[in-house]
Amino acid sequence: MQQIPVLNRQTLTYEQLAKTIDHSLLRPELTEADVVAGCELAERYHVASVCVKPCHVALAVRLLQGSDVAVGTVIGFPHGAHTTATKVFEAADALAGGAVELDMVINIGELRAGHHDAVLNDIKAVVDAARGKAIVKVILENAYLTDEQKAAACRLAESAGADFVKTSTGFAPGGATLADLRLMRASVSPHIQVKAAGGVRTLDAALDAIDAGATRIGATATAAILDEFQKRLRG
């Protein structure tokens, strides 16, 4: 079982903050050169991971070999509507390429329809494919869900053996909210972590997310967040 970071806003160190960040490189227009630059930035700032498109996994693994930055990718992204077999194939392909973190999108429509067994089995199939090789973060896409559905999805993700529940893809009408983070934190056991993604673009937003229970933050504004933290540390 993964050890959960204990984060306190008042005593937070640069290293602790940096290791909450998954530097996101998922925009559809990003080129190979953009990914190279993003991986260099991630290594320079010693973040937790880069989250790249599936086609860039092997490139990111090569670029970050020997660094302290993990390589992750997305499964069933961004709509979650792939068949379970497709998601399992994507997971296996990502693992073969060297990814060690998988951010998968639930089947949103099935959850909204109340088909909980289908959602559970979909998540579990990816978790089983990743077992012993990668951690799995389950993206709920909260913008489309009621609070009751969010809490149910959290419980299903935990029952399926996932490591994290995550707010959003960043491609829906809304992203991470503090209310959602608190709800998600309260809806899973202490050993399940919570990831905030979508709209966390400033240091204060990142710190607020941590206060609300997030231990990972998906960000594109990584440099701005961490530079501001260093600036404040210097007074």
- Among the listed residues 19, 22, 87, 103, the single catalytic one is 103
How buried is 172 (Cβ within 10 angstroms: 0-12 exposed, 13-18 middle, 19+ buried)?
middle
- Among the listed residues 19, 137, 166, 180, the single catalytic one is 166
Please indicate whether residue 124 is annotated as part of the active site. Answer: no
Please indicate whether residue 231 is annotated as part of the active site. Answer: no
Q: What sign for the dihedral angle of Cα 199, 57, 214, 222?
A: negative
Please indicate whether residue 208 is annotated as part of the active site. Answer: no
Largest CA distance in the chain: 53
Element (H, E) at 217: strand 216-219
Is the separation of the CB atoms in 51 and 101 below 8 Å?
Answer: yes
Q: How many angstroms separate the CA atoms of 64 and 189, rounded?
A: 32
DSSP state for residue 82 in the 8-state scheme: S
Which residues are annotated as catalytic? 103, 166, 195
